């Protein structure tokens, strides 16, 4: 019989030893197998700021930040206080036949940060904002076409997946939404060719592509905005990962002085606790969708403006401002990129370090020396991008740094830490990368033995 006083934190403690078994039985067994294979099943117990603590109390530096949602760090006291204040106040949440006070406050504060836009539509996630953007672009222009960039990632719901060209995600789920056309990233000529049909309602892009941390040329975003204006296409900036200060500006498009017709936000806006998404747009676009009283609810989402989500967004913006985290991201990111870039000439497997703010990609590539080239080719033949796992695993096991490969088959490791990282943390990152990359240049060695194990697992799987 359940106690009338339900203590979920106590339940977490009581059942945490069974987490893998419960997931294997009731949830995603394949994910459990992956974590055990690469040694990531350490049983995290606590998160504070940029740090995670495992079942033994060991501290890890989190460079994954929940795929970018923990920009202000885990369990920030201001965020927690804001959420508790909502729960303690008996607010009239989700009346539906009423308008939300807190949604009005959050919309007002977002638009002050993006003053060239006028209206906000709230959703539950980044993918939902992409779905809304597709509908708004078609509805406002009367045109069916949507253009996106190769190597983009916009989400996994059907409309968002239609704008994500990775076959690893699309396989088995096609046919997808018609009228969606890819162009190469950084190719203005290809963009103009497809826009000149005047059948394209919207062009959506990530200012910096998350899968690979691919950077635009200085000409691409301003040129794309000009072409969209020329041909009557709406320019949509997917800032779900790059926004909220991640790149050292509130929006990444600010680096290129571009003003999109729509801006999509999510991830960090949630504070990591309550999912939320926001589409910011111009009044003339918004008014074409909600153009009369009987269309006041022509698009919406049941939980989108719930008080907890709005409070999380308000608190997150307050933390970013009061702790000057956007300025910190610019400073720490520049220092970290410089430190990692200085390693490139000394390691033939390192190719490039790129990014802005605290969105950094460390790319590896084929070596020139025969011994390293032979080992590299064995890995690439077994599974493209496998080498990066040989870097991330010892970073985790030996140096207590959690990071990720930037996409399926990618040769780039992405660093996406909370914006609260310190100078000491950056030294930790630099020392760990230097040590692991140096070890990767020793053949034979522990890293290449791990590679053989991963290759053997891949061979057994294919068999």
pLDDT in tens, 338-390: 999 999 999 999 999 999 999 999 999 999 998 899 888 888 888 888 889 88
The pLDDT value recorded for residue 462 is: 55
The pLDDT value recorded for residue 440 is: 92
Instruction: Report the b/e string of 378-387 with b at 16+ CB within 10 A.
Output: ebeebbebbb
The pLDDT value recorded for residue 164 is: 95
Which residue, among 295, 187, 446, has the nearest Cα to 195 in the 3D structure? 187
The four Cα atoms 211, 212, 217, 223 give a dihedral, to 10 degrees, of -10
Q: What is the DSSP letter of 214?
A: B
The pLDDT value recorded for residue 311 is: 98
The pLDDT value recorded for residue 443 is: 81
- Whole-structure pTM value: 0.94
The pLDDT value recorded for residue 447 is: 78
Contact between 407 and 211 (Cβ < 8 Å) = yes
The pLDDT value recorded for residue 328 is: 98
Q: How many CA atoms lie within 13 A of 320 on its CB side?
A: 28
Angle between helix 370-382 and helix 386-399 axes, rounded to 10 deg: 100
Give the contacts of 438 (CB within 8 A, at least 6 positions apart).
347
| List of the chain residues with pLDDT < 70 | 1-4, 456-463
Which pair of structure tokens corresponds to residue 292? Answer: 């009369």
């Amino acid at each position: 019989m359940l106690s009338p006083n339900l203590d979920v934190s106590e339940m977490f403690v009581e059942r945490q030893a069974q987490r893998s078994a419960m997931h294997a039985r009731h949830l995603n067994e394949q994910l459990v197998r992956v974590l055990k294979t690469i040694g990531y099943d350490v049983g995290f117990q606590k998160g504070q700021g940029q740090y995670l603590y495992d079942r033994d109390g060991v501290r890890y530096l989190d460079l994954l930040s929940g795929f970018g949602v923990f920009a202000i760090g885990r369990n920030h006291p201001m965020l927690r206080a804001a959420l508790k204040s909502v729960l303690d106040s008996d607010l009239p949440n989700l009346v539906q036949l009423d308008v939300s006070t807190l949604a009005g406050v959050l919309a007002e504060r977002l638009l002050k940060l993006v003053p060239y836009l006028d209206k906000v539509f709230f959703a539950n996630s980044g993918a939902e904002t992409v779905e809304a953007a597709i509908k708004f672009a078609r509805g406002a222009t009367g045109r069916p076409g949507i253009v996106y960039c190769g190597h983009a990632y916009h989400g996994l719901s059907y409309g968002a997946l239609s704008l994500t060209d990775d076959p690893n995600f699309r396989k088995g789920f096609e046919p997808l939404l018609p009228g969606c056309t890819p162009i190469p990233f950084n190719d203005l000529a290809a963009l103009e060719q497809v826009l000149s049909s005047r059948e394209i309602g919207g062009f959506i892009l990530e200012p910096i592509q998350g899968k690979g941390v691919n950077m635009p040329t200085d000409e691409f975003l301003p040129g794309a905005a000009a072409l969209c204006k020329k041909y009557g296409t709406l320019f949509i900036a997917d800032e779900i990962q790059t926004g909220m200060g991640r790149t050292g500006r509130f929006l990444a498009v600010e680096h290129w002085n571009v003003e999109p017709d729509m801006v999509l936000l999510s991830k960090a806006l949630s504070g990591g606790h309550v999912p939320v998404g926001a589409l910011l747009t111009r009044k003339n676009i918004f008014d074409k969708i909600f153009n009369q009283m009987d269309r006041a609810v022509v698009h919406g989402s049941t939980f989108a403006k719930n008080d907890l989500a709005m409070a999380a967004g308000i608190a997150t913006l307050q933390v970013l401002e009061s702790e000057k985290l956007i300025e910190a991201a610019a400073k720490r990111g520049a220092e970290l990129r410089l430190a990692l870039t200085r390693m490139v000439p000394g390691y033939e497997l390192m190719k490039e370090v790129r990014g802005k703010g605290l969105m950094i990609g460390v790319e590896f590539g084929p070596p020139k020396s025969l011994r390293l080239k032979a080992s590299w080719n064995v890995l690439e033949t077994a599974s493209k991008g496998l080498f990066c796992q040989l870097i991330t695993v010892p970073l985790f096991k030996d140096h207590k740094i959690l990071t990720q490969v930037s996409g399926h088959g990618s040769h780039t490791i992405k660093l996406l830490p909370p914006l609260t990282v310190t100078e000491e943390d950056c030294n930790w990152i630099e020392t760990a990368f230097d040590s692991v990359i140096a070890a990767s240049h020793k053949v034979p060695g522990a890293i290449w033995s791990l590679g053989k194990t991963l290759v053997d697992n891949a061979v057994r799987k294919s068999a």
